[in-house]
Amino acid sequence: MSPVREPAPSAGDPAAARARGDRPAVRNEVLRDGRLAGIEPALLADRFGTPAYVYDLDVVTGQAEALLAALPARFDLAYAVKANPNLAVLRHLAAMGLGADVASGGELRHVLRAGLDPAHVVMTGPGKRDEELAAAIEAGLRAVTVESVGELRRLAHLAEGLGRPQRVLLRAAVADAARLERVRLVGDDGAGKFGMDLRDLRVAAGEAVASPWLEPIGLHAFGASNVTDPEALAAHVEATVRTARTLATEVGFELRLVDAGGGLGIPYEEHEAELDLAALGARLAALSARMEADPATRGARLLLEPGRFLVGPAGAYLARVLERKEVGGRQVAILDGGIHHALRPALVGQQHRVRVLTGSGAGAGAVPGRLPVTVAGPLCTGLDVFVRAAVMAPPDPGDLVAVLDVGAYGATESMPLFLSHAMPPEVAVRGGEAWAARPRIDPDTWLGWQVGEPGGSQG
């Protein structure tokens, strides 16, 4: 299979980024000099209303170019669509020449609609329905990752029925310490729901080799989420290559692709450091050189599936302060949006950076009157808190604030039906031009779908 590359690189594509050796000079994020994606926050609020998601596609470009410039040419990128499936984001990444990692039939349909080349798309996921597997075969994907012997057999049966052989990756269970030669990343393997142990890997590989309808091309192994330690990330890739080489040699198939999954992290809180791309790239370059020197791995490409790293810093949740009060000596600001739209702070117990954008408290610098402030949403639950005791100048009613780093696992990981508030729009910005990539959805829309009595009509 040909690599994911464009023959004539231009200023905005991955190959050009590698050629230039691009690195971001400063932290690459949506909020710069008090503006969101280069636009005054009040202008965005007036045009699109609050709360709203804002995605800076130029930041996405910067993240992708910085990562690709650090990686050896053997590496391809498949964007993890689950991080943010907005069509504007997908079309932007498609224009850059990136591939995609989809985990459902819906995501597959969406990336095809966005114009991504199916030959650069891989499908993963522990529970694929037959219709999803059939859609992957018909689309001609780069590979389908199989997570069990049973799934492999279903895929073979479907491929035979469609008369179209399918390339497969075999997914290894990271929890198998022997498989990773005791190189483990900190993370939750979902209590064994992902991948196969060594015994089933060998069985599945043998059956794939014997099947005329399956073409085994390599191994897939996901380590952990949001890892900012370059040594841990590189160790996972190295261990996955070793295991893939062993499996391919033992069973007897040509190793052509090693998918080390995603997990590239970003900092969320003030004290957290960014991923050192130079350190990661140096260690992966050494790995690539070893692979080139080994006939068993020389022809294999390496695939990473970043999602959060590419789009997380590009997103902000823009909201307006409704009320400010003092409770027990503590300042509390109540916003017009909350965790029903941006669930991650409550879901994983990690605070995001919150910035006051307008009013006397705007900016992150030495603003007079800085105090510990709790920033919370309008929901009738104590979980609805973005930050507790964040040191800032207390914002006044009407001021705009931004919750940062929500470009990934934001809008589509939320619970927008809770309390029947409107679903916030998703605003995309590129080169200073903003548009509603998805409009605000009024609660009357989904309430109107409901049927109150048997045989009754909607509404």
C-beta separation of 169 from 217 below 8 A: yes
**Does one domain contain both 156 and 295?**
yes
**Does one domain contain both 361 and 291?**
no
- Condensed to tens digits (0 to 9), the pLDDT of residues 281-321 reads 999 999 999 999 999 999 999 999 999 999 999 999 999 99
**CATH number for the domain harbouring residue 282:** 3.20.20.10
Q: Is residue 427 part of a domain?
A: yes
Q: What is the pLDDT of residue 27?
A: 64
**Does one domain contain both 198 and 168?**
yes
**Does one domain contain both 175 and 298?**
yes
Q: Please state, in angstroms and rounded to a whole number, the distance separating the CA atoms of residues 4 and 455.
A: 53
**Does one domain contain both 335 and 220?**
no
**CATH number for the domain harbouring residue 432:** 2.40.37.10
Q: Indicate if the pLDDT at residue 132 is higher than 80.
A: yes
- Condensed to tens digits (0 to 9), the pLDDT of residues 332-378 reads 999 999 999 999 988 888 889 999 999 987 865 545 678 899 999 99
Q: Indicate if the pLDDT at residue 420 is higher than 70.
A: yes
Q: Is residue 238 part of a domain?
A: yes
The residue range of the domain holding 332 is: 1-57+309-446
**Does one domain contain both 179 and 161?**
yes
**Does one domain contain both 161 and 270?**
yes
**Does one domain contain both 269 and 381?**
no
Which of 304, 335, 354 lies at the terminal end of a domain, its last residue? 304
**Does one domain contain both 288 and 386?**
no
Angle between helical axes of 57-70 and 277-293 (0-180°, round to 10): 50
**Does one domain contain both 291 and 314?**
no
Q: Is residue 394 part of a domain?
A: yes
Whether the bond between 51 and the residue before it is cis, its omega within 30 degrees of 0, is: yes
Distances (CA, A) of 177 to 67, 115, 136, 223: 29, 39, 31, 12
Q: Is residue 313 part of a domain?
A: yes
Q: Is residue 297 part of a domain?
A: yes
Q: What is the pLDDT of residue 456?
A: 76
Nearest to 196 by CA among 181, 174, 177, 216: 174
Which of 252, 274, 304 lies at the terminal end of a domain, its last residue? 304
**Does one domain contain both 282 and 346?**
no
> 54 pairs with which residues across the strands?
316, 427
Q: Indicate if the pLDDT at residue 8 is higher than 90.
A: no
pTM: 0.90
CB-side neighbour CA atoms (13 Å) of 213: 15
Q: Please state, in angstroms and rounded to a whole number, the distance separating the CA atoms of residues 72 and 296.
A: 19
Q: Is residue 107 part of a domain?
A: no
Least confident segment among 5-9, 13-17, 109-113, 214-218: 5-9
Name residues whose C-beta falls within 8 Å of residue 40's C-beta, 6 or more positions apart in sequence: none
**Does one domain contain both 290 and 315?**
no
| pLDDT top residue among 184 and 32 | 32
Which of 279, 304, 329 lies at the terminal end of a domain, its last residue? 304
Nearest to 227 by CA among 180, 181, 184, 259: 184
Name residues whose C-beta falls within 8 Å of residue 316's C-beta, 6 or more positions apart in sequence: 30, 31, 36, 53, 54, 402, 403, 404, 406, 407
Q: Is residue 5 part of a domain?
A: yes
Q: Please state, in angstroms and rounded to a whole number, the distance separating the CA atoms of residues 54 and 48.
A: 10
Number of domains in the chain: 2
For residues 251-264, average pLDDT: 96
Q: Is residue 148 part of a domain?
A: yes
